[in-house]
Amino acid sequence: MSAASEQPAENMALLVADSIGYVIRGKTILTEVSLQVHHREIITLIGPNGAGKTSLIRILLGLTQASSGTVKRQNNLRVGYVPQGINVSDVMPLRVCDFLNVTGLYSVEQCQQMLAEVSCEYLLTSPIQNISGGEMQRVLLARALLKKPQLLVLDEPASGMDIIGQQGLYESIRNIRDKHDCGILMVSHDLHLVMAATDRVICLNTHICCTGHPDDVSEHPEYLKLFGDAIDGLALYSHHHDHEHDIHGNIVASEHCHSCEHNENAGDDHDHDHGRKATQDKK
């Protein structure tokens, strides 16, 4: 599965957006937004509330029509989409396995395996209305991955997850990219968590303020202007150190019962600072 040694279409972008404009009821949401997503590239879209992040994603996905500009997707591009906290109708009996396999294309084993990959194998036959917001995000991710997407689009994938879940998720983004060999475009508020897991950051506020490698963007004046307040917290971010998982686990154990998403990274030296909680609440 992970035989992705060479990129098959390295120069051909999965998706090319050219000077997208979006105006709704006289209000300009997006102007002159151009971007490309390449094979195996991880792009994070950041920006303040109301910056047009979700509108841009919806336009790229073809769910919303742009007012101007063009979006070109590769022919028959398989897109996996993880929206932000969706509602599934209460009035339809629907188990997680039905939801995963709504198209009838997958076997139970495939669904089970994909759920295991997002640490949710125990949910297979749960009614989807009974699962928590964080579990829903994982199930949505599993559903998107089942399609073997060439492009995975994540809109605030960590919403509804507790802090350990969020960190696990962002740490696994690279693994997902490597294992499933796809480009990833995600929207996030969690600057400090996301930065380490991304190849390119696009900072959006109606237009693209700045774009580039996370380290460059985090020093860009436009970026500092937008996220000045959060930067104080970011200073702590660069403070790497090993730590004992079990101590952390104990702290959060009361609200989080399955820390299995940590396992794959256990022993890794990953960024984890104690000051983060202080800046976590701007969502």
The distance of closest approach from Cβ of residue 106 to other proteins in the complex, given in angstroms and rounded to an integer, is 12
* Of the candidates 191, 216, 204, the residue with the CA atom closest to the CA atom of residue 57: 204
Q: Provide the minimum distance between the beta carbon of 223 and other proteins in the complex, in angstroms, as a whole number.
A: 30
Give 31 or 126: the residue with its C-beta nearer to other proteins.
126
Query: Closest approach of Cβ 122 to other proteins, in Å?
Result: 17
Judged by beta carbon, residue 15 or residue 210, the one nearer other proteins is 15
Q: Tell the smallest beta-carbon distance from residue 102 to other proteins (Å).
A: 4
- Using the minimum distance from each CB to other proteins, give the nearer residue, 23 or 278: 23
State the SS3 of the chain.
Answer: CCCCCCCCCCCCCCEEEEEEEEEECCEEEEEEEEEEECCCCEEEEECCCCCCHHHHHHHHHCCCCCCEEEEEECCCCCEEEECCCCCCCCCCCCEHHHHHCCCCCCCHHHHHHHHHHCCCHHHCCCEHHHCCHHHHHHHHHHHHHHCCCCEEEEECCCCCCCHHHHHHHHHHHHHHHHHHCCEEEEECCCHHHHHCCCCEEEEEECEEEEEECHHHHCCCHHHHHHHHHHHHHHHHHCCCCCCCHHHHHHHHHHHCCCCHHHHHHCCCCCCCCCCHHHHHHHC
Residue number, 143 or 189, with CB nearest to other proteins: 143
Q: Which helix (H) or strand (E) holds 83?
A: none
User: What is the nearest approach in angstroms of other proteins to the Cβ of residue 25?
Assistant: 11
CB nearer to other proteins: give 86 or 235: 86
Rounded to the nearest whole angstrom, what is the least distance from the CB of residue 266 to other proteins in the complex?
A: 33
Give the span between the Cα atoms of 184 and 80, in whole angstroms. 9
Smallest separation, CB 23 to other proteins (Å): 16
Instruction: Name which of 28 and 130 has its Cβ closer to other proteins.
Output: 130
**For 95, which DSSP code?**
B
Positions touching other proteins (CB under 8 A) are 61-63, 79-81, 83, 86-89, 91-95, 98-99, 102-104, 125, 127-128, 143, 147
* Closer Cβ to other proteins, 82 or 195, answer by number: 82
Please calculate the CA angle 273-210-83 and round it to the nearest 5 degrees.
65
Cβ 78 to other proteins shortest distance, Å: 9
Residue 82 contacts residue 154 (beta carbons within 8 Å)? yes
Which CB atom, from 72 or from 243, has the smaller least distance to other proteins? 72
